[in-house]
């Protein structure tokens, strides 16, 4: 399928400085991003501005999204925006017996191109995606239900950052051995030395499968996609059936860039499914599939880990995130920080806090001692205040991603005393959008019947104010929650050095990422690429972290050829 000899020279000048800065930032862990966060930053240099992005999005609605993939045996679609409208897009349905072998055809040339050329091609794909961030924002908004600005930032530059981060890790990992032939000479005393010429080639494992999720199709999809592609694999993208469009746009861009630079476009392909078809299970067990990245339920993640034995499997599954509240010297800052964390995208983030552990005798604050009831009431007040204005509420909450979340939200009110009731928010532009404020439910941590609630992931705008006997009790419950249920994030508020040390010790021992005393504009549910690790890979919530060396190093192998010198 490749129409020309691969040419990536022109890309080096364009993207090598970005790659170098990414490599440096991974070591410093400082703030950096090459992709602008502000919507108004787009429009120049060939990128789409707000109007053009919206037009591009509208142009794709109610069309057939043709990718010219081998083995297309039909068309399927049916996405409905959480804001109401049907997207009306039809995507190719693939026959894996045709598509998978076709995806393997381009692997030798992709391998021979080497780590730098692969990284540069990935950076060009990301740059093209970046230029269409306004279009992607609408696609992410109308599949995930995120509010526009969040869909723009998390689905655009932040997702692109995570993709670039994976490319940089992949490049560094593959270039640990010398490029070209290395000479080896072992002295033998008075005899001639033993001499060999050695050549080390990083080779991908084969075809990688990315199984996308409903809530963050690009943010959670890009690390695996780009890590696998940059390490010499082909990548088959299987989106969540309710969030196909952002990944279909991604696949189209990748195929264009690959073909333009002389590589086989089938190195990246899309696999969509008919309603109820469940192709993830079938694809995951195909012998061609050697790597799987998955974000979703624990049940299916565990199934993949146990059954897809021919593949390296990277999973992000359910977890129960805790915030331990011991004391604070900024009560107001704590409340407003927590209120934002609980509200952002209606709590539909894998990093949103669920259980707030509060001593039943209350906590010390800069505004004097506060009882458990006062803390809970003040938090409810802070959330209520934050979301009191409907326009602001809509901008923060977005829409509920699917009916399951709505059902869980409605059921949550029956789990205990409701400290803050959820309310419906009307959306001015989308009357069918299901927008709800979070519910906060009080649970008594000493009552065994409350455990079933707070020791399960209750995904959505639901949190539990769990009363505990003491901070020591909270620490023990935190440990048990991480160990048994996993956690993507842990938060804690304390002015006590010994409590701080004790929370750190639990997180170090149970392998969970900790945010301490956040009272400003950084929230426990947010992580920054190149600096923060998303998950740890060491507790049941995820078997990998985004991104680290382990996330990339087993996606390829190094084959050595030794020759008599």
Contacting residues toward its own copies, per CB under 8 A: 26-31, 108, 111, 173, 176-178, 182-188, 194-196, 198, 200-201, 203, 205, 305-306, 309, 504-505, 507-509, 511-522, 528, 531-533, 536-538, 545, 548-550, 553-554, 557-564
Cα–Cα distance, 330 to 351 (Å, whole number): 23
Minimal distance in Å, beta carbon 172 to its own copies? 9
d(CA 387, CA 403): 22
For the CB of residue 330, give the shortest distance to its own copies in the complex, in Å.
9
Beta bridge partners of 436: 424
User: CA dist 358 to 117, 364, 370, 438, 487, Å?
Assistant: 53, 11, 10, 19, 18
Nearer to its own copies, 200 or 430 (CB): 200
Cβ distance to its own copies smaller for residue 135 or 330? 330
Looking at 313-459, list the stretches that DSSP marks H as alpha helix, in order from N- to C-terminal side: 331-343, 372-386, 390-397, 403-412, 448-454
User: For its own copies, which is the closer residue by CB, 10 or 41?
Assistant: 41
CB of 187 vs its own copies, minimal distance in Å:
8
Strand-pairing partners, residue 268, are 235
Nearer to its own copies, 5 or 424 (CB): 5
- By C-beta, is 411 or 522 nearer to its own copies? 522
Whether 286 and 89 have beta carbons less than 8 Å apart is answered as: no
Contact 407, 439 (CB under 8 A): no
Residue 27 CB, nearest approach to its own copies (Å)? 7
Q: Which is nearer to its own copies, 58 or 562 (CB)?
A: 562
To the nearest whole angstrom, how small is the minimum distance from the Cβ of residue 175 to its own copies? 9
Q: Note the maximum CA span of the chain.
A: 88
- The residue (of 26 and 127) whose beta carbon lies closer to its own copies is 26
CB of 511 to its own copies, least distance (A): 5
CB of 211 to its own copies, least distance (A): 20
**β pairing state of 490-493 and 322-325:** parallel
**Closer CB to its own copies, residue 132 or residue 205?**
205
Indicate the residue among 242 and 290 with the shorter CB distance to its own copies: 290
Rg (CA), the chain: 25
**d(C-alpha 552, C-alpha 228), whole Å:** 8
- The H or E element spanning position 294 is strand 289-295
72-77 and 90-94 beta bridge pairing: antiparallel
Question: CB-wise, 4 or 194, nearer to its own copies?
Answer: 194
Q: Which is nearer to its own copies, 189 or 275 (CB)?
A: 189
Q: Give the integer Cα–Cα distance in Å for 409 and 387.
A: 17
Can you state the angle between helices 245-260 and 222-230, rounded to 10 degrees?
Answer: 20
Q: How far is the CB of 191 from its own copies (least distance, A)?
A: 8
Nearest distance from C-beta of residue 260 to its own copies, angstroms: 26
Task: Tell the smallest beta-carbon distance from residue 111 to its own copies (Å).
Answer: 7
Q: How far is the CB of 451 from its own copies (least distance, A)?
A: 21
* Residues paired with residue 484 on neighbouring β-strands, in sequence order: none
The minimum distance between CB 518 and its own copies, in angstroms, equals 6
Give the integer Cα–Cα distance in Å for 88 and 64: 9
Least spacing, CB of residue 43 vs its own copies, in Å: 18
- Work out how close the CB of 146 gets to its own copies at its nearest, in angstroms, rounded to a whole number: 21
Please tell me whether the peptide bond between 85 and the residue prior to it is cis, using omega within 30 degrees of 0: no
Please give the Cα distance from 453 to 8 (Å, whole number).
Answer: 54
Q: If DSSP codes are grouped into helix, strand and coil, which group holds residue 429?
A: coil
111: Cβ contacts below 8 Å, ≥ 6 apart: 201, 202, 203, 204, 232
Cα 165 to Cα 159: distance, rounded to the nearest angstrom? 10
DSSP 546: B
User: What gap in Å lies between CA 165 and CA 23, rounded to an integer?
Assistant: 8
Is residue 427 classed as helix, strand or coil in its secondary structure? coil
DSSP secondary structure letters along 79-122:
-B-TTS-B---EEEEE-HHHHHHHHHHTHHHHHHHHHHHHHHHH
Task: Give the whole-angstrom CA distance, residue 118 versus residue 258.
Answer: 10
* Alpha carbon of residue 548 to chain centroid: 14
CA-nearest of 248, 221, 223, 214 to 135 is: 248
- Closer of 87 and 325 to its own copies (Cβ): 325
- Which residue number, 182 or 411, has a Cβ lying nearer to its own copies? 182
Of the two residues 265 and 491, which places its CB atom closer to its own copies in the complex?
A: 491
């Amino acid at each position: 399928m490749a129409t020309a000899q691969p040419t990536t020279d022109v890309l080096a000048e364009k993207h090598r400085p970005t790659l170098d800065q990414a490599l440096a930032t991974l070591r410093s862990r400082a703030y950096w991003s090459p992709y602008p966060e502000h919507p108004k930053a787009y429009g120049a240099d060939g990128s789409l501005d707000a109007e053009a992005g919206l037009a591009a999005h509208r142009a794709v609605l109610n069309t057939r999204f043709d990718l010219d993939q081998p083995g297309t045996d039909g068309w399927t679609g049916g996405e409905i925006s959480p804001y109401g409208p049907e997207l009306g897009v039809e995507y190719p349905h693939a026959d894996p017996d045709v598509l998978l072998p076709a995806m393997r055809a381009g692997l030798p040339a992709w391998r021979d191109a080497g780590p730098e050329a692969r990284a540069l091609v990935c950076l060009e794909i990301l740059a093209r995606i970046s230029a269409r961030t306004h279009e992607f924002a609408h696609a992410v908004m109308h599949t995930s239900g995120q509010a526009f600005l969040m869909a723009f930032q998390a689905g655009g530059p932040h997702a692109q950052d995570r993709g670039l981060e994976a490319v940089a890790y992949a490049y560094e990992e593959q270039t640990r051995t010398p490029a070209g032939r290395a000479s080896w000479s072992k002295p033998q005393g008075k005899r001639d030395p033993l001499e060999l010429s050695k050549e080390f080639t990083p080779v991908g494992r084969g075809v990688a499968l990315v199984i996308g999720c409903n809530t963050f199709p690009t943010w959670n999809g890009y690390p695996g996609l780009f890590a696998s592609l940059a390490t010499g694999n082909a990548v088959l993208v299987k989106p969540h059936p309710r969030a196909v469009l952002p990944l279909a746009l991604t696949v189209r861009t990748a195929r264009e860039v690959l073909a333009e630079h002389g590589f086989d476009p089938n190195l990246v392909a899309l696999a969509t499914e008919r309603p109820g078809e469940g192709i993830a299970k079938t694809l995951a067990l195909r012998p061609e599939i050697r790597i799987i990245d998955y974000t979703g339920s624990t049940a299916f993640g565990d199934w993949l880990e146990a059954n897809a034995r021919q593949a390296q499997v990277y999973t992000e599954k359910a977890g129960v995130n805790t915030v331990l509240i011991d004391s604070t010297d900024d009560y107001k800052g704590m409340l407003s920080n927590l209120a934002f964390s609980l509200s952002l995208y209606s709590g539909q983030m894998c990093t949103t806090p669920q259980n707030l552990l509060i001593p039943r005798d209350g906590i010390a604050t800069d505004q004097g001692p506060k009882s458990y009831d006062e803390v809970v009431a003040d938090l409810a007040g802070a959330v209520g205040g934050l979301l009191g204005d409907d326009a602001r509420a809509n901008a923060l909450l977005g829409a509920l991603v699917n009916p399951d979340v709505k059902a869980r939200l409605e059921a949550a009110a029956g789990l205990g005393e409701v400290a803050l009731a959820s309310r419906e928010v009307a959306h001015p532009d989308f009357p069918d959008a299901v927008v709800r404020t979070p519910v906060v439910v009080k649970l008594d941590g000493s009552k065994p019947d409350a455990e079933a609630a707070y020791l399960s992931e209750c995904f959505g705008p639901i949190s539990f104010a769990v009363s505990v006997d003491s901070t020591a009790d909270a620490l023990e419950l935190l440990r048990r929650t991480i160990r048994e249920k996993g956690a993507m994030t842990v938060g804690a508020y304390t002015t006590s050095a010994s409590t701080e040390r004790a929370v750190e010790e639990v997180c170090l021992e149970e392998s969970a990422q900790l945010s301490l005393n956040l009272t400003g504009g950084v929230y426990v549910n947010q992580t920054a690429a190149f600096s923060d690790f998303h998950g740890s890979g060491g507790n049941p919530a995820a078997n990998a972290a985004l991104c680290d060396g382990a996330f990339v190093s087993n996606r390829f192998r190094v084959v050595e050829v030794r020759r008599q010198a």
